[in-house]
Every structure is written in C-alpha cells, then in structure tokens.
C-alpha cells in the first residue's frame, strides 16, 4: 500500500539513484537540480554531496531543495575518500547514475536510458553529450564518434570509439553490475572507472540521443592547461588505463594509444608553456616515455600538427615544440604546397618544414587527408514549381577568387533507387563565404552556385511517387577532386515551405537532424485538416486513405521514451473524391490533454530556471490496419498552442506545429511568447509581433541579452488580448543617455516566466522562420533577425563594413595591397585618437582631444571606433576600425594619440608623432616585468617588441610610473611626466556638480550614498585570446544587508571582460560597466571599492574613501601577476579579504579619512604628484605646439 509525502504524491521505491556532487557550482546548481526534478521518470532518488569547502550558498540551496522534495537527500560528508562512493553506498535503486552539480539534463534522459536497459538487459547505457555554454549547446567532441548512432547490446571491443568516452555522467549503470565488480571512484578524475566499466561490461547500449548537458568550465580547462601537477596525475591515470586495456582488450591498444595521444598527451603538451623549466623537464620525460611506448601506428591517425608536436615531444625537442605551440594561433593561415604529379600530396608549411638541420620527416607535414570539402545550401526559393537551390562548395585550403579556379557539378540522387539527375549549375559570387572563413590567406568569393530542380525531374513517368532525393556536389580545384552531400544549417532553409504539385502531393525541401539537405516528394497517406480544444480534450480532424479497421487510434508518444498516449478515432467514408485511386475516409480523433503532461504538477518546487532545454517533443500518428501513418499538416492549418491543465505556478503549453518535413509535431514546454512576424520600417524601427497562449502571462517588456556578456536592454511590449507587439530601434538603443547601436554580437530575446520567476526564450513560429529579415544596415551597424536552438529569437549585430573590408581575407588584402599605397600619400594635418583599441571615448586621449578642441585648432580630429559604442563631443570624425578609411587615416595622420597600442599592421612613418598615453599607474606588474611570475598567461608578452619602438612619446603620471614603464616596456625614448590628463576633470572646481549630474543620469535617488565597485581583471580568467571572464566575488546580499536602503552599489567590470556573471539589477545594484568614462563615475561615487586596479590612484585625487577588496591577495601577489609596489604597506585605505569586512568599512566610510590620513597623503605624493588639473594643457603644448592653436594659459584658466 502506498503512503503519501507532504506534497500529496505517492511514495514508491525509486527506480534510479542519482549521485550529485557539487563543488563551487555557484549559479548552476539550481539549474542542475531543476533539470533532475523535471525528469519524466518520476521514481528517482537524488543524493546531494557537498564537496566544496566554503560552498555555503550552494549547500543552502541543496538543503532547501531537499526540504521541499522528498526525492532529494543531502548526504553529510564522512571525511576522507571520495564522496561519490559514500553516495553509492546510500543509493537504494536498481539503477545508478552520476551528475555533476554544474551540469544539466534534458527531461527525458533517465526515462530513455532506464527504459533502454530494461528492454535490452545490458549492464550500462550511455548517451550522447552536448557541451553547454550559457544557452548554447554543441556536440561534445570526445563523444561525437562514440555516439554517432544508436547501438544496442554492443561492447567496446566491437565499437572501439567508446574508448574516447571518459565520462560517467552520461550513463546509467545496472546496480548489480556495479556491485559485482566493486567499482570505486577516485577523489579526482573518473577516467579510469569510466573505461573500466566499459571493458568489464558484458553488453552496453549506445544512444545517439543527447542525454547530458556538460557545462563548459573555462576556469577548469585553464587550470588544467597551466597546472603541471594535474597533468602529471592525468598521465598516471593514463598508465593505469593502458594496463587495463592490455589485460582485457589487447586488440584495442593501437586505437587506445591514438586516442591517448590526441587527448591525454595533448593536455601534457599544452601544459608545457605554463610550466617552470624543472616542471617542463619532468613533463617531457613523462610524455616522451608514453609516445615512445605507444603503438607505432597510433600517431598516424592524428592531424598533421598533432603528429608534428607528438614527434617533437618523443624526440625531446622542447625548444622546437614550444615554438610550434607559440605559433598555433596563426597556423590556420599556413600555406600548403603540392608535391608529386601522378600521386599528388599536399604539405603544410608548419615550423621547421624543409629544415635540413633538424631533419623532421616530411610525412609529418602531410595534410592531404585533412583538406575538407564544404558543400552547403544557403538559400532555397520557389520559382513557380521550380526549386532554386543556392549554396557554396569549396575546399577549405584552396583559393577560389575567380569562377575559373574551380569546377562545380551538382546532381540529385534518389535515396531508394540510386537514380541520379544532373542539375544545371550557374556560378554565383559569394563574398560572405570568404568573410566567414577561418583562413585569411584564401578567397572563396566564387565558391557560390545556383541549381534548378525542375518539377519534371521528380516525376516517375507521369506519376508522382513518394521519394527522397539527396543533393551532391563535386568540386575540382587545384588538381584535387572530391564529392560531398549538400548540408543545410541555415534555419530559413530547414523550414522552407512545401510546394503542392498535385492533390495531397507535396515537394518539400528540408534538412533533418543530421543537417543533410534533401528534396522530399511526399504523397500523403493521412492529412490533418483541423485542430481545436474541446474542454480538456485535443480534437484533431482530417482525412486518411486507409480505413484503419477496428484498431484505429491516434497515438502520441514522446520522441525519447515514455508511455504512449492513445486517443479514440472515429472514421466515415469521405463524400469527396480524394484522389484517382479512390475515396478516402474522414477522421475525428481526441487526445486527453491531461495525459500530455510529462511532469505532473509542473514541479514548481525547483529553482526558478526556465530555458530551452525544458522542451519535450511528441510524435503524433494515426495507427490501425496497415501500421502507423504520419499526419501531414494541410497548408491551411495554422499552428496552435494550448495551456496544459497542470494547475502549476509555471504554466506549460502543448503546441502543435510542423516538422521540417511537413508532418505533425507536438511540443510540450513552458509557456512562452511566440513571434509570428518581424519587419523593419523606413526609420529603422524593428517590430516583432506575435501571441501567447497563456492569458496570465503578459510581460510588459522583453529582455534583450547579449550572449556571454550579460549586457541587456529592456524592450517594451504592448498587448491586445493574446497578441503582442515589441518595437525598438536596434541602431539607437539608449545607453546612459546616448543613443547607440546594439554592440556587436548575438543578442537573445527573453521574457519573464508566467510565475514571475525565471525566464523563457521568446521563440519564432516555425512557419515564420523563412520570412525573418536578413542582414540590414541601419546607421553604422548591420542587424539580422534569426533563431538559435531551432526556434528561439536572436538578433545579431555587426559593424557595417563593405565586402572588401569584412573578414580576415579582406583585412589581409587591405594590409598587404592597399595600405602600402596609402603610405606613399603625403601626411595631412590630422590627429587620430584611440582609447582602449577603439572601445571607448575616454581616458587620456579624450582629455587631450577636448583640450585641443577648446583651442579651436585647425587640425582635423578623428576618433577610431571599434564598434560604434560611443559618441564624441565636438567636430571630430568617427572612423570604423577595420574599414578602408581606418587604414587610410592611420597612413596619413601627422599625430596619433592612443592609450594602449595600434594594430600590428600599422607602420610608423617619418614625420608622424605617435603618443602613447598609457591607461593607468602600473601598481601591478606589466610588460616584461611579468616574465618571472610563476603564472604563464594566455596573452603573449612579446607584443611590446613591435609596439614600443613605434612610440615617440610616453606619458607618465609620476616618477614612480616613469621608472616602472621604462623597465617593463624596455623603453628608452622620451617620457613626458605631466600627470594624467584624464584626471584634470577630478581637480576642476565644478567636479561635485558634474558628479550630481551623473548621479541623476544613473538614477541614484537623492540622499543615497553611491559605492563604486571597480575590480581589475584576473589573469587566470583569461581563458583564450579575446575570452576574458569575470566572477563577481563581492557578495551583493551581504552588502545589501549591512548597508541598508541608503546605499546603492555601482558595479563596474573591467572593459576587457567578455564573459561575466552578475546579480540581477535592482534598487541596490546598478550595472555601470558600459558607462562611457569611468572618470565621471568617480565623481558620482562616495566610496570606491577596488582591488589592485589603478582606479585607486585616480580616485585618490578626489580625496574620498577607498576600500581594497583583496580576497585573493596572496595568489595575485605571488603567483598571478605581482606588484610593482608594496601595496599592503602603501594602500590608501583598509584592505579587506571578505565581503563582510568590505561592508563594514564602507558603512564606516566617514571614519576612514582620519584613520588612513597619513597613508592617503603619502599615496597622493608618490603616485599622483602632478594631477593638478592642467596635465592636458601641458601635453597639448608639448605635442602640438603652434598646431594646437589658442593659448595654453587661457585654456587652463590662467594664473
């Protein structure tokens, strides 16, 4: 007899136990637990293991979840050993699984996997894995081959690709199998156990369906890359795994060694640049030992660059290996050379190619088998009944800059009969293929083609027969020929409407889950002609060719497992002649809506996280005599959505729509707004129109959020009954009072969930996807409305560049062909200003420009803008970075003023004056001073070798800064020690009035104190070039609780950060990361909280309190970056190591001035002795002289 829990649900024995360790899972644990609570397999137990010291917030969340859901249990740590083993000991179900607290699962995962094991009797089942990055999912590379197809009751000895799968979390184990072999999990990597289970199992099941979302953890990846100890441990595990393979599957050693070279040894190689010389020697010995003991054929399956690196490691050629690693970011542009006449081979000119002295075997450079043919469909359209197919086809390494550089043939092939039909091909120009290419040394401008599929090609004699045609392209370039099936990833291609060529006969261009483009001719056997909701019943009407018999039923089944839902069907002979073969039958079918709810009660006990991954797809078919039949959706049947009768706080809906092949598909998901139309007007206004099925969900705004950055804007929404309209101007978004274009990148459109908690993606009705507007220029940007993850709305933004300016190849031509011509033109009276690589109108260049403007100079002033994210005061012209004019103006300008550096292609001309103002006092180490720090950073330190010799003048704020920068930059040129022009405004008499204006602009209420939190970036968050993360280590809740309602927190992340988490903005927190100039924020702030940023030097000019939040001081000082000063002894305010200490110091800010008066004064004298409000005037006098115009004394106010 069942009993009930406190939610009123029956308590039953769990079918699966899921062990969930969490260590610093942060914001992601809630999503993980929600995805487990929402599993369609309800009978589960979840054992939560806290494995992270200082993991208070996550532990509290886990405890709260366990208190609200009886299926979740928080397991107390026992101390010593792996907590995972403790979790296994307490598990009670017949099946066992593991999930990391950072990750998530689709709702069907465990129902599918447990159901598979119960049907096959295998010992374990594994499923495909997708890497999770925010809202984006992509195929996990190490799982791609292993889970490319579904295989039941197989084994690693029959499917060797399983050796690449080193994870446990994508599997379900039969508990009896686990216990029989006494598997134990280590405290760190689970590679050994994962492969051990594969080898010892009698049979395993392999599912191509994604069952696990594995979060990309850049910090973990970076740590491994720079942590020799972690790599040493990985190699020790590898040795154990190899012994295991040798014992149980010796025939797999060759394949195992190949995977090990590609994965484990590759990790070792990547760790070498960040290791000390002693560590390098030890790692080289470890790596060389494995390379030289591995099967001789193992390296042969690696890519050329990996073979080269592996060879250098095996030969212990460390300097050469480090040089190859240093050049990896540029290897995509390495040229290939052709050798041989009859048997042609291509070789990449990687480092040391043809180096006689080193005598590296030539075969290591052979890339013949790596040259890939790309053949993609970009666009399809109907010309009456003729289908026009446009696309591109090219090899990834061969130039196609003219239509004679390659030959393209296209044909169709009937999948069933093998019949081939050659299509007429017209070559078309496709500059976008070149702009999107990873390689800048080749052009694909003439890789485009257009082919016509005439209706006669699809007839079988005089009849239409159901058939599927794949399209193939054959490309011949530079003596190489290859054939490739055409694929289609563009959403507009995937959802192209069918053309009805006869009654119940349609020609449907489409692409399936494998992205293969097909032309499908379908003679429908059953057609859906109507849908309506009758109370709690879903009623479908239509027509079928077959009588179906007494067993007629409508069957709905989740695509990835679960019980079928059957609905009754009534049929009657149709009174209308449906086709030449005879009369068909009309049907009416009903499905109970209650049975279409996969998660009872909506499981609102979980965290408020709603995302695309809560979608459950349903197949709906007619069945009876003759088997099941798909339902073709008639052309005049519109998609519908009905709210499911869950009674839950977060409403769910059931949508009926089409598949890409025109068949009926049910979609169960959280209710969300659905866009049915998107259009621009002549003024650049973008209007999104649509509807929502839920009368209770009417948000007054959508959120437009830039992927990875956290930047967001609110878009107002108006409603008329269930119809909404969201209209905005992407080229003129209000940002702190200025109308700016959406910054470059991908913006996702989100709405608050029905419950008011969490968010849902705004989606596009699938039939409307093909009509979404393409790239459109508005102002200095271009915008494209599109979708991601099948149907979620996204808006892409990019600077408006011409075809001969966009992309790596265009930029290379500008640099090599056009820029040298511009360098021969005479210099002009032009001054170019650049702040932070074109990112801002700020800092020292701004102050110098504004001083120059006040003097009414005759010089033409030009600002370089990377992304149009600022406006400029005065008459200066703004030039887009990367444009032709950018090259032209840098070639001709007489004066160049920047605070960081210029592009590597810039050539300093005689007669030009290049002023480097720099952008902060070097309290932390910079340049060559970093070389002796233990931490080896991602960014290259040799940028100074090309940049510094171009400087004519370096500005300095103080004697201290002069000494440090000369040493760090190895600079022996002129230094102008004037103080920083950017700080002049902080000494101006009206600075407090300016601060008041800024406070009003930011919306800070009168009487509230503003706390500016402005931390610097962290080297260990620099995951890759152009990828710099940020983690908010300041506990906002603690700050709010201590400071109360009379404070606001201004959050200013460093301008270089690309990825950041941040708290929701509210009355306490204001994100000012994109405020144009931090100097204005200084004047608005009552207290500065920073860490090791030079912001403290600038803010000290105001004389206001400064608090240093140095939560990672020992690591930062001794390992990451280090200091050029004794910051702990010289700090102008208290140094806090916890948020509580920060909050306490800020609350007592009025006392800081007296407590730290001497330190503050000494700090001012040492670091900003000349910041007196006249630095810009001194700089302008020195640089521009008479060309500046006006009078410095007048400009500075006179004395």
| CA 1079 to each of CA 984, 987, 1142: distance values in angstroms, whole numbers, following the listed order | 10, 11, 22
Angle between helix 218-226 and helix 228-248 axes, rounded to 10 deg: 90
| pLDDT tens per residue across span 304-350 | 999 999 999 999 999 999 999 988 878 888 999 999 877 899 999 99
pLDDT at 1188: 79
The residues, ordered by sequence, that sit 6+ positions from 464 with a Cβ below 8 Å of its Cβ are 458, 501, 502, 505, 521, 523
pTM for this predicted structure: 0.91
Q: What percent of the chain has pLDDT over 70?
A: 92
Q: What is the number of other CB atoms lying within 10 angstroms of the CB of residue 995?
A: 20
Lowest mean pLDDT among 102-111, 258-267, 329-338, 739-748: 329-338
Judged by average pLDDT, the poorest of 146-155, 285-294, 388-397, 644-653 is: 644-653
**pLDDT tens string 442-463:** 999 999 999 999 999 999 888 9
pLDDT of residue 315: 97
* pLDDT over threshold 60, residue 146: yes
Measured CA to CA, the distance from residue 897 to residue 876 in angstroms comes to 14
Is residue 897 over pLDDT 90? yes
Residue 582: the pLDDT is 47
Using one digit for the tens of pLDDT, what is the confidence trace for 271-286? 898 787 888 999 999 9
Q: What is the pLDDT of residue 1061?
A: 65
Residue 220 pLDDT: 53
Interatomic CA distance for residues 483 and 472, integer angstroms: 7
What digits encode the pLDDT tens for the residues 200-236?
A: 999 999 999 999 999 987 655 555 555 788 889 889 9
Rounded CA-CA distance 1030/1054 in Å is: 8
Least confident of 257-266, 267-276, 743-752, 834-843: 267-276
Dihedral of alpha carbons 1070, 1076, 1078, 1082, sign: negative
How confident is the model at residue 702, as a pLDDT? 96
State mean pLDDT over 362-373. 96
Residue 622 has pLDDT above 90, yes or no: yes
Percent of the chain topping pLDDT 90: 76
Residue, of 538 and 711, whose pLDDT is higher: 538
Q: Is the pLDDT of residue 1198 over 50?
A: no
pLDDT of amino acid 609? 38
pLDDT of residue 1187: 80
CA-based angle 173:178:183, to the nearest 5? 120
Query: Which two structure tokens, joined as six digits, stand for 315?
Result: 């030969």
> In this model, does residue 966 exceed pLDDT 90?
yes
Q: Give the whole-angstrom CA distance, residue 37 versus residue 7.
A: 14
pLDDT of 599 reads 77
Residue the block writes with tokens 């089944």: 557
Region 161-188: what's the mean pLDDT? 93
Mean pLDDT over 256-275 rounds to 91
Average pLDDT, the chain: 91
Q: Which two tokens stand for residue 555?
A: 């069957």
Is residue 409's pLDDT more than 90?
A: yes
Q: Which of 332-341, 848-857, 1087-1096, 1107-1116 has the weakest average pLDDT?
A: 332-341
Whether residue 31 is predicted with pLDDT greater than 60 in this model: the reply is yes
802-814, pLDDT tens digit by residue?
Answer: 999 999 999 999 9
Range with the poorest average pLDDT among 280-284, 632-636, 1018-1022, 1114-1118: 1018-1022
Per residue in 824-881, pLDDT tens? 999 999 999 999 999 999 999 999 999 999 998 999 999 999 999 999 999 999 999 9
Q: If DSSP states are collapsed to H, E and C, what string results for 533-583? A: EECCEEEEEEEECCCCCCCCEEEEEECCCCCCEEECEEEEECCCCCECCEC
CA angle, residues 788, 793, 798, in degrees to nearest 5? 80
pLDDT at site 1193: 41
- Per-residue model confidence (pLDDT) at position 1041: 94
Question: Can you tell me the distance from the alpha carbon of 464 to that of 501, in angstroms, rounded to the nearest whole number?
Answer: 9
DSSP 754: T
């Amino acid at each position: 007899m069942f009993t009930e829990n406190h939610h009123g649900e029956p308590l039953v024995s769990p079918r699966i136990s899921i062990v969930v360790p969490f260590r610093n899972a942060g914001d992601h644990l809630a999503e993980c637990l929600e995805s487990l609570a929402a599993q369609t397999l309800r009978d589960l137990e979840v054992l939560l293991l806290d494995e992270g010291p200082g993991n208070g917030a996550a532990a509290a969340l886990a405890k709260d979840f366990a208190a609200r859901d009886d299926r979740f249990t928080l397991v107390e740590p026992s101390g010593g050993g792996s907590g995972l083993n403790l979790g296994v000991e307490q598990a009670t179900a017949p099946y066992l699984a593991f999930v990391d607290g950072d990750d998530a699962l689709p709702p069907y995962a465990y129902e599918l996997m447990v159901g598979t094991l119960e049907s096959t009797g295998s010992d374990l089942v594994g499923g495909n894995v997708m890497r999770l990055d925010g809202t984006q999912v992509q195929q996990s590379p190490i799982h791609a081959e292993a889970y490319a197809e579904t295989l039941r009751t197989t084994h690693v000895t029959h499917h060797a690709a399983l050796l690449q799968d080193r994870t446990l979390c994508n599997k379900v184990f039969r508990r009896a199998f686990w216990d029989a072999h006494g598997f134990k999990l280590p405290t760190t990597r689970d590679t050994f156990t994962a492969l051990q289970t594969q080898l010892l199992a009698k049979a395993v099941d392999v599912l191509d369906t994604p069952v696990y979302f594995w979060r990309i953890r850049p910090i973990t990846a970076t740590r491994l890359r720079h942590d020799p100890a972690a790599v040493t441990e990985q190699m020790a595990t590898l040795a154990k795994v190899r012994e295991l393979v040798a014992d149980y599957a010796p025939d797999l050693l060759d394949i195992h060694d190949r995977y090990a070279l590609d994965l484990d040894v590759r990790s070792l190689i990547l760790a070498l640049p960040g290791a000390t010389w002693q560590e390098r020697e030890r790692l080289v010995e470890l790596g060389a030992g494995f390379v030289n003991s591995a099967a001789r054929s193992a390296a042969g399956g690696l890519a050329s660059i990996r073979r080269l690196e592996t060879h250098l490691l095996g030969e212990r050629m460390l300097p050469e290996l480090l040089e190859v690693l240093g050049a990896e970011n540029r290897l995509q542009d390495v040229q290939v050379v052709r050798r041989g006449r009859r048997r042609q081979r291509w070789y990449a000119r990687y480092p040391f190619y043809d180096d006689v002295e080193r005598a590296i075997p030539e075969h290591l450079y052979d890339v013949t088998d790596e040259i890939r043919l790309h053949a993609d469909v970009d666009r399809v359209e109907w010309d009456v009944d003729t289908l026009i197919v446009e696309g591109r086809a090219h090899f990834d390494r061969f130039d196609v800059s003219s239509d004679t550089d390659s030959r393209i043939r296209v044909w169709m092939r009937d999948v069933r009969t093998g019949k081939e039909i050659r299509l007429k091909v017209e070559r078309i120009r496709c500059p976008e293929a070149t702009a999107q290419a990873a390689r800048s040394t080749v052009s694909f401008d003439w890789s485009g083609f257009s082919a016509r599929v005439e209706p006669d090609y699809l007839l079988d004699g005089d009849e239409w027969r159901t058939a599927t045609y794949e399209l193939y392209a054959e490309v011949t370039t530079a003596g190489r020929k290859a054939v490739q099936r055409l694929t289609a990833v563009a959403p507009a291609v995937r959802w192209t409407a069918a053309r009805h060529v006869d009654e119940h006969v349609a020609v449907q261009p489409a692409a399936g889950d494998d992205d293969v483009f097909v032309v499908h001719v379908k003679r429908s056997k059953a057609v859906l002609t109507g849908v309506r909701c009758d109370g709690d019943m879903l009623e479908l009407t239509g027509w079928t060719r077959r009588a179906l018999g007494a067993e007629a039923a409508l069957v709905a089944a989740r695509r990835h497992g679960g019980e079928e839902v059957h609905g009754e069907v009534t049929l009657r002979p149709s009174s209308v002649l449906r086709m030449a073969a005879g009369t068909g039958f009309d049907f009416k079918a009903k499905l109970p809506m209650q049975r279409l709810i996969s998660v009872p009660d909506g499981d609102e006990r979980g965290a408020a996280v709603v995302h695309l991954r809560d979608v459950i797809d349903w197949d709906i078919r007619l069945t009876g005599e003759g088997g099941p039949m798909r339902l073709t959706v008639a052309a005049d049947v519109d998609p519908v959505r009905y709210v499911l009768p869950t009674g839950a706080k977060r409403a769910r809906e059931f949508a009926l729509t089409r598949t890409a092949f025109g068949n009926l598909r049910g979609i169960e998901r959280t209710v969300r707004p659905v866009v049915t139309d998107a259009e621009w007007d002549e003024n650049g206004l973008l209007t999104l129109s649509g509807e929502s099925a839920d009368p209770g969900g009417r948000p007054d705004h959508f959120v437009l959020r830039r992927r990875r950055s956290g930047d967001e804007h609110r878009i107002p929404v108006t409603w008329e009954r269930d119809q909404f309209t969201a209209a905005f101007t992407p080229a003129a978004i209000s940002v702190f009072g200025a109308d700016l274009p959406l910054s470059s990148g991908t913006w996702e459109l989100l709405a608050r969930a029905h419950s008011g908690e969490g968010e849902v993606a705004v989606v596009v009705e699938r039939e409307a996807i093909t009509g979404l507007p393409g790239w459109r220029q508005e102002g200095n940007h271009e915008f494209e409305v599109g979708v991601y993850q099948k149907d979620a709305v996204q808006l892409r933004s990019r600077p408006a560049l011409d075809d001969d300016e966009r992309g790596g190849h265009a930029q290379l031509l500008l640099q090599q062909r056009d820029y040298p011509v511009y360098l021969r033109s005479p210099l002009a009276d032009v001054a170019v200003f650049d702040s932070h690589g074109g990112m801002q109108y700020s800092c020292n260049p701004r102050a110098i420009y504004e001083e120059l403007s006040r003097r009414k100079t005759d010089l033409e002033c030009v600002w370089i803008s990377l992304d149009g994210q600022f406006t400029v005061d005065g008459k200066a012209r703004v030039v887009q970075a990367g444009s032709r004019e950018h090259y032209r103006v840098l070639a001709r300008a007489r004066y160049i003023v920047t605070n960081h550096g210029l592009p590597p292609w810039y050539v300093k001309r005689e007669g030009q004056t290049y002023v480097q103002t720099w952008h902060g006092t070097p309290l932390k180490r910079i340049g060559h001073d970093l070389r002796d720090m233990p931490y080896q950073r991602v960014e290259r330190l040799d940028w100074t070798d090309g940049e510094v010799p171009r400087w004519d003048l370096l500005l300095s704020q103080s004697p201290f800064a002069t000494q440090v920068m000369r040493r760090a930059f190895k600079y022996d040129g002129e230094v102008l020690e004037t103080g920083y022009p950017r700080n002049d405004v902080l000494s101006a008499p009206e600075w407090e009035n300016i601060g008041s204006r800024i406070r009003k602009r930011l919306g800070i209420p009168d009487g509230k104190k503003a706390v500016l939190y402005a931390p610097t970036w962290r080297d260990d968050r620099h995951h890759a070039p152009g990828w710099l993360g940020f983690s908010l280590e300041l506990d906002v809740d603690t700050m709010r609780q201590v400071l109360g309602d009379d404070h606001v927190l201004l959050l200013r992340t460093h301008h270089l950060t690309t990825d950041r988490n941040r708290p929701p903005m509210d009355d306490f927190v204001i994100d000012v990361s994109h405020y144009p100039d931090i100097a204005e924020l200084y004047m608005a702030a009552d207290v500065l909280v920073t860490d090791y940023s030079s912001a403290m030097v600038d803010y000290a000019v105001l004389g206001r309190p400064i608090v240093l939040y140095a939560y990672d001081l020992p690591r930062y000082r001794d390992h990451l970056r280090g200091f050029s000063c004794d910051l702990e002894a010289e700090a102008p305010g208290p140094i806090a190591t916890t948020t509580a200490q920060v909050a306490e110091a800020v609350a007592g800010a009025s006392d800081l001035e007296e407590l730290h008066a001497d330190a503050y004064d000494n700090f001012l004298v040492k670091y900003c002795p000349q910041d007196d409000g006249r630095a810009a005037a001194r700089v302008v006098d020195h640089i521009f002289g008479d060309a500046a115009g006006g009078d410095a004394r007048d400009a500075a106010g006179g004395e």
